[in-house]
Amino acid sequence: MKDEYRQKLNIYDYILTEFNNFIKEAPILGYDDNHRILMYLNIKYFMMALLKRQYQISDSVNLNVRVPFCDKELIELLYNVPYEYKCKDNIEKKLLRDAFIEELPNDIINRKKSPYPKSNSVKYDEMVKNLLIKTLEDESSILNKIFNKDKIYELIYMEEEI
């Protein structure tokens, strides 16, 4: 953002205040606090966004999608399980893997966790970048008023170098 908007909006203080309010509302039990806070953050914000997107996409094609690991009762149960049980031997989702060890083949039990639902499409990334560049090239775009165009270009091209 341009300095004038950054100062007017005071985004850093806003984020800090929101984060502190979030921490106060997170149900923690006095142990394993950091993991519980992260889990609560994931449930409250990220998971809700993913579920909403999943619902909108599946509903647009009349598809009824089930997400069994997002069941409210299951989440409530697992929220209270200490982290060391859920990630035993530094293996993510170890408790879940152990629960189904008799029912699933080893290649499924031992496969790396994949994010849901996440697009790793290079084509999609390029489309978004090109749209952003096109918008920035339009001098009447509101983006040019609010954002530092040079900084945006730096971000776009920095990612390509990585």
> For residue range 79-122, what is the model confidence (pLDDT) as tens digits?
888 888 888 888 888 998 999 999 999 999 998 877 665 666 78
Mean pLDDT for the chain overall = 85
Contact criterion met (CB below 8 Å) for 158 and 150: no
Mean pLDDT of 23-43: 80
pLDDT for the residue numbered 30: 67
Q: Residue 75 and residue 39: Cα distance in Å, rounded?
A: 10
Stronger pLDDT, 13 or 49, i.e. the higher one: 13
Residue 22, pLDDT > 60, answer yes
Per DSSP, the three-state class of 35 is helix
pLDDT of residue 159: 59
d(CA 156, CA 35): 33
Reduced to 3 states (helix: H, G, I; strand: E, B; else coil), residue 84 is: helix
pTM of the model: 0.61
Instruction: Give yes or no for residue 162 having a pLDDT over 80.
Output: no
C-alpha span between 80 and 21 (Å, rounded): 21
Distance CA 31, CA 78 (A): 15
Query: Which tokens hold the place of 71?
Result: 């069941």
- Give residue 161's pLDDT: 58
Q: What is the pLDDT of residue 137?
A: 93
Q: What confidence score (pLDDT) does residue 81 get? A: 85
If we measure between CA atoms, which residue out of 134, 25, 30 comes closest to residue 143?
134
* Alpha carbon distance 63, 109 (integer Å): 27
